[in-house]
Amino acid sequence: MSDVEVSVRIPAGDVVLEADVVVPRPAHGIVLFAHGSGSGRHSPRNRFVARELQRAGLATVLADLLTREEERTDAVTGRMRFDIGLLAERVAALVDWLPEDEFARGLRVGLFGASTGAAAALVCAATRPDVVTAVVSRGGRPDLAGEFLRLVHQPTLLIVGERDPIVIELNREAMDKLVGEARLEIIPGASHLFEEPGALEAVAGLARDWFLRHLGDHTGTESR
């Protein structure tokens, strides 16, 4: 069977979010990307990671967590990107939609969060323990998940650049509060955006291996 690539509109409370879904065949799991800090589904860094996951047989969902109107407002105020409660609600709505989608149905779910989206992903993992199987954070702010960290039992991988010392410390403090398996990986020579040669490739490789380890033992669409 050929891979599936579709653009969809997903209801999330009183708004509708746009998303790009890619499902390779066979698929060993599905990873939903939670963007942050003014980023969206067109983020070149997240799309790069998504392509690496797809090559490994993992389905991906890249969705905008804000509507176009909200993005315009946020570009001026910068407030909505730090509204972790709102972002987590949107991520949870997307997670709740996955079992309804004919292509994503039956696949184990992983969350890949970047920047403030990492906090939203962890809050969602805490509130959807029976659905979310694993979490990866790239240059994230897991500390912004607050007390929800103590409710995250899913295996969580935190990836930070070596040249991002403040975020490294925030990730270490957050990791101590996670109750499930947790690991901190520091990419040598990398800054916050992982723009250095080989840095994003390292992120993608770590994320791929983490998700395959925790999602890959489920056949999902392989049997369809």
Q: Which tokens sit at 28?
A: 């060993």
Question: Is pLDDT above 90 for 2?
Answer: no
pLDDT digits (tens, 9 = 90+) for 202-211: 999 999 999 9
d(CA 112, CA 215): 13
pLDDT digits (tens, 9 = 90+) for 155-169: 999 999 999 999 999
pLDDT digits (tens, 9 = 90+) for 99-157: 888 888 889 999 999 999 999 999 999 999 999 999 999 999 999 999 999 999 999 99
Question: Is pLDDT above 80 for 179?
Answer: yes
Please calculate the CA angle 68-69-71 and round it to the nearest 5 degrees.
Answer: 65
Closest by CA to 164, choosing from 196, 137, 191, is 191
- Sorted by where each starts, the structural domains of the chain and their CATH numbers stand as 4-217 (3.40.50.1820)
Closest by CA to 48, choosing from 39, 86, 101, is 39
Strand partners, 160: 186
Beta-carbon contacts of residue 79 (< 8 Å; ≥ 6 apart): none
Burial per residue of 101-128, b for 16 or more beta-carbon CB atoms within 10 angstroms, e otherwise? bebbebbbbbbbbbbbbbbbbbbbbbbb
Q: What is the pLDDT of residue 190?
A: 97
pLDDT digits (tens, 9 = 90+) for 40-91: 777 888 999 999 999 999 999 999 898 888 888 877 877 777 889 999 999 9
Q: pLDDT class for 219, splitting at 50, 70, 90?
A: very low
Q: What is the pLDDT of residue 104?
A: 84
Q: Report CA torsion sign: 3, 223, 207, 176.
A: positive
Q: What is the pLDDT of residue 218?
A: 47
| Averaged pLDDT of the chain | 91
Q: What is the pLDDT of residue 224?
A: 31
d(CA 110, CA 31): 5
Q: What is the pLDDT of residue 217?
A: 53
